[in-house]
Amino acid sequence: MDLTLYVWRQNGPDEKGKMEQYEAKNVSPDSSFLEMLDEVNEELIANGELPIEFDNDCREGICGTCGCVINGVPHGPQEKTTTCQLHMRQFNDGDTITLEPWRAGAFPVVKDLVVDRSALDKIIQAGGYTSAYTGEVGEANQTLIPKPDADYAMDAAECIGCGACVAACPNGSAMLFTCAKVAQMAVLPQGQVEAAERVKNMTEALLNAGFGNCTNHYECEAACPKGVSVKFIAKSNREYIKALGK
């Protein structure tokens, strides 16, 4: 496969960026998207040019750090797939592919396709945990949890914090990420003790981090590589209203 790439190049958050054109030649359809970028970078380095900076770690669809916008879609055209798990067979010979970083005010560009997503960490630090001492690790069935509640919590816990929901949202909102973390613990006994404090603190951190508001576009759910549902936003909203005593 021969492909034409238009890649966003930017030296830093305070620098102006622009799209640069590159050619990817003899790309195997069985290679992953990041392997294709590795090959392009090897050629750039051999020619004395700066490689395209992109973020990645596990390359197994677990951590989500690989995220970038491919042809206008966070993580690319294949549903419920991270960029690192996207394969070139999803494209055709002669295709033109555009690559951009996450676009959100709360995600400043570090360089090229790499963005600073530490704003998500601040939301977790505000309350995405349980602080009550629960003693040593107990036997698995010591605290009985109804199967529907356990399944609900696990569905919410699938969020890997990649930020695709933010990049897809026209408002740059991180509601799906935040609400998945709130909902995950709201139904478990370990999380209910601090439930009211948690939802208020995490919502405040969400607003202070510079994310936009949710206006129910549902783009977040569509872009999520793990298929996290917007039902968790509704759950978190109910938890927030309950915490305010309204």
Task: Say what the pTM is.
Answer: 0.93
Spell out the domain ranges in the chain. 3-111, 117-131+141-243
CATH number of 117-131+141-243: 1.10.1060.10
**CATH superfamily ID and name for 3-111:** Beta-grasp domain (3.10.20.30)
| pLDDT of the chain, 246 residues: tens digit per residue | 999 999 999 999 999 999 999 999 999 999 999 999 999 999 999 999 999 999 999 999 999 999 999 999 999 999 999 999 999 999 999 999 999 999 999 999 999 999 999 999 999 999 999 886 767 777 777 778 999 999 999 999 999 999 999 999 999 999 999 999 999 999 998 899 999 999 999 999 999 999 999 999 999 999 999 999 999 999 999 999 999 986
Q: Which residues pair with 21 in a beta bridge?
A: 6
